[in-house]
């Protein structure tokens, strides 16, 4: 029986998920709480270290049985040096997260972009097992991508590959968290969807989501999902547009790369998978080269929130050379 586990953490724009797991037993303990975003570097790292220490302690597996900590980060990462380059949704720039966390948790820390680590999880443990060329697209607070090429995670020259959310798709488009205008995620992420729903409601369009706006409450993925199930025209219109944009953009990427599977996940997509996936697929097929599109399976992640957590296992194997 395996005696070692990893502590795997996925830092989202709104929540942190953590798990203690290994291959044989799967996830033996999990923990989740809201993330501290845009409160400054110190508040962020103290909260994250506290989260991880709590996760390890409450799991009961014993500190000595933790082989290492893995982190999925929503932004660009320098994986060799354990530095977050830019994470707009967390308000972090050039932040040496691995060293800061190692000092506070006394374990080795390995970081990876959140969708890259999810792609590792999906490729090793999920729906893309055994596939060689796979694109993973997560639509949530932002939009991220991860690419498995010839059976391996493709990171590019400086670990920046897969940042599909910042592909420029619209001239004079909306402002993105990265500071530029017209990025894919500024047009079709949950943040963009909520912005567009808000704009229509403020223009006087009738929607069940108006109540949340009037109360100053955030519009979350599940609220959008309920609105769509209830036939809300504003929510359906904005979501349909987002699906069209996601389908066309992913078709362009696939025309370039010729994948055999495209896996869609992320908060807003998972909450609305039955509505979004068929619409994305239709737009994807319309804008793809037929010979590229006919070999592609377009699917949901199945592993959902657990995908980036499972991705920690192959990441640790890559760095420490141990099977867990």
Contact footprint for Zn ion (CB under 5 A): 166, 176, 178, 183
User: In the complex, what is the shortest distance from the CB of residue 152 to Zn ion, in angstroms, rounded to a whole number?
Assistant: 26
Give the residue from 4, 20, 9 showing the smallest Cα distance to 57. Answer: 20
User: In the complex, what is the shortest distance from the CB of residue 180 to Zn ion, in angstroms, rounded to a whole number?
Assistant: 5
> Do 129 and 23 contact (CB within 8 A), yes or no?
no
**Closer CB to Zn ion, residue 166 or residue 210?**
166
Give me the residue label for tokens 């403020």. 202
User: In the complex, what is the shortest distance from the CB of residue 226 to Zn ion, in angstroms, rounded to a whole number?
Assistant: 29
User: In the complex, what is the shortest distance from the CB of residue 249 to Zn ion, in angstroms, rounded to a whole number?
Assistant: 13
> Do 116 and 153 contact (CB within 8 A), yes or no?
yes
Secondary structure E strands in the chain: 5-11, 15-22, 26-34, 66-73, 76-78, 83-87, 92-95, 109-113, 134-139, 143-149, 152-153, 261-265, 297-300
**Closer CB to Zn ion, residue 120 or residue 143?**
143
**Closer CB to Zn ion, residue 113 or residue 288?**
113
**Closer CB to Zn ion, residue 69 or residue 164?**
164
**Closer CB to Zn ion, residue 126 or residue 144?**
144
**Closer CB to Zn ion, residue 166 or residue 190?**
166
| CA–CA dist 260, 31 (Å, integer) | 34
**Closer CB to Zn ion, residue 96 or residue 173?**
173
In this structure, what token pair is assigned to residue 267?
């908060």
User: In the complex, what is the shortest distance from the CB of residue 50 to Zn ion, in angstroms, rounded to a whole number?
Assistant: 31
User: In the complex, what is the shortest distance from the CB of residue 311 to Zn ion, in angstroms, rounded to a whole number?
Assistant: 23
DSSP-assigned letter for residue 91:
T
**Closer CB to Zn ion, residue 6 or residue 37?**
37
Q: What are phi and psi of 116, to 5 degrees?
A: -60, -45
DSSP class per residue in 57-79? HHH-S-GGGEEEEEEEESSEEET
**Beta strand 92-95 with 109-113: parallel, antiparallel or unpaired?**
unpaired
Largest CA distance in the chain: 62
| CA–CA dist 83, 126 (Å, integer) | 28
How far lies 127's CA from each of 119, 274, 298, 307, in Å?
Answer: 10, 17, 11, 10
User: In the complex, what is the shortest distance from the CB of residue 178 to Zn ion, in angstroms, rounded to a whole number?
Assistant: 3
User: In the complex, what is the shortest distance from the CB of residue 255 to Zn ion, in angstroms, rounded to a whole number?
Assistant: 22
């Amino acid at each position: 029986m395996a005696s070692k586990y990893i502590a795997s953490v996925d830092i989202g724009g709104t929540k942190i998920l953590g798990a203690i797991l290994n291959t044989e037993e799967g996830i033996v303990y999990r923990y989740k709480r809201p993330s501290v975003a845009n409160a400054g570097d110190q508040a962020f790292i103290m909260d994250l270290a506290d989260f991880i220490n709590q996760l390890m302690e409450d799991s009961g597996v014993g500190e000595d049985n933790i082989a290492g900590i893995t982190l999925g980060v929503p932004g660009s990462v320098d994986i060799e040096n354990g530095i977050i380059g830019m994470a707009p949704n967390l308000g972090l720039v050039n932040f040496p997260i691995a060293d800061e966390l190692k000092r506070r948790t006394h374990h080795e820390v390995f970081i990876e972009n959140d969708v890259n680590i999810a792609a590792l999880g999906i490729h090793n443990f999920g729906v893309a097992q055994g596939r060689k060329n796979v694109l993973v697209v997560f639509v949530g607070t932002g939009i991220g991508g991860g690419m498995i090429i010839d059976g391996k995670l493709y990171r590019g020259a400086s670990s920046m590959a897969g940042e599909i959310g910042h592909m420029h798709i619209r001239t004079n488009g909306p402002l993105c968290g990265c500071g530029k205008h017209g990025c894919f995620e500024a047009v079709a992420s949950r943040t963009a969807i909520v912005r567009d729903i808000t704009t229509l409601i403020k223009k006087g369009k009738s929607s069940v989501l108006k109540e949340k706006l009037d109360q100053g409450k955030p519009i979350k993925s599940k609220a959008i999902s309920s609105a769509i199930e209830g036939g809300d025209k504003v929510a359906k219109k904005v979501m349909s547009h987002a699906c069209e944009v996601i389908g066309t953009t992913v078709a362009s990427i696939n025309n370039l790369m010729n994948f055999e599977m495209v896996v869609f996940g992320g908060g807003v997509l998972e909450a609305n998978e039955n509505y979004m996936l068929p619409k994305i697929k239709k737009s994807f097929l319309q804008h793809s080269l037929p010979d590229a599109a006919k070999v592609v399976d377009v699917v949901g992640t199945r592993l959902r929130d657990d995908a980036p957590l499972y991705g920690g296992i192959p990441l640790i194997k890559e760095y420490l050379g141990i099977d867990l």
